[in-house]
Amino acid sequence: MSPEALRGAIADAKRIVVKVGSSSISGANVGQIEPLVDALAAAHERGAEVVLVSSGAIASGMPYLRLDSRPTDLATQQAAAAVGQNLLIYRYQESLRRYAIVAGQVLLTAGDLENPTHRGNAQRAIERLLDLRILPIVNENDTVATHEIRFGDNDRLAALVSELIDADLLVLLSDVDALYTRPPQEPGARAIDFVAFDDDLAGVELGDIGAAGVGTGGAGTKIAAAKLAAASGTAVLLASTANVADALSGAETGTWFEPAPAAD
């Protein structure tokens, strides 16, 4: 299938996981929640099952703990997350109310997806929420996660959730509109619009994606997550949060990661 045909399949995707990072929906960018919800609601309206993997609990809680930057110690991260997770879900639900869509909160740790019983419970819960046309909002359970068992960033969590529910499409959103051959602010950087499944991207010079001091992900985590999801058969689109409506409608935006070929 050609890259153009693959992108055309976005509008036909039946099960979509969308991941958004802290820097895209907190602080000065909190206003991006409403257009993000607009795009999710449009996909929901056309019949797609949508799961949102959203970072932002710690970033949302930081102002209420009078913190100017992301805390480095685990206890303060947990405290900020405890305050911020409530605010984050409230903001999403208030915006979703315009479309009469109900959000369902799902908090996971890496251990949950490694434990067969917990993994099965998470899968059943998300599947049932989707059956009920409720929009699951997934985040790492920062209040109980430890440094040893954390996902480390929600890009990997989103890839694992995509695999868990056998999603057709994973959309990884960030502050940057595509994967570039080198950090986009550097001279000579070129956007990459298509990554074949067997492309190891050896010539790409990695830089960070996201605002420093708020998020934890970068270009490397996006690529690793995209490769992980693609290996399980899920197509992946890396795009900017500002372009989410175009991304979910199949417009030519972002970087498309080809999924593994279907087994014969």
Q: Give the integer Cα–Cα distance in Å for 66 and 64.
A: 5
- Give the single-character DSSP code of 204: P
The answer to the question of whether 249 is labelled as a binding residue is no
Quote the crossing angle between the two packed helices 33-45 and 74-96, to the nearest 10°. Answer: 60
* 235-240/255-257 β-pairing: antiparallel
The answer to the question of whether 142 is labelled as a binding residue is yes
The answer to the question of whether 155 is labelled as a binding residue is no
Q: Give the integer Cα–Cα distance in Å for 195 and 179.
A: 10
Q: Which amino acid is at 253?
A: T
The answer to the question of whether 243 is labelled as a binding residue is no
CA angle 190, 238, 155 (to 5 degrees): 125
The answer to the question of whether 175 is labelled as a binding residue is yes
| Rounded alpha-carbon distances, angstroms, from residue 157 to 160, 238, 250 | 5, 15, 24
**Binding site for ATP: residue ranges?**
19, 174-175
**Binding site: residue ranges?**
19, 55, 142, 154, 174-175
**Binding site for substrate: residue ranges?**
55, 142, 154
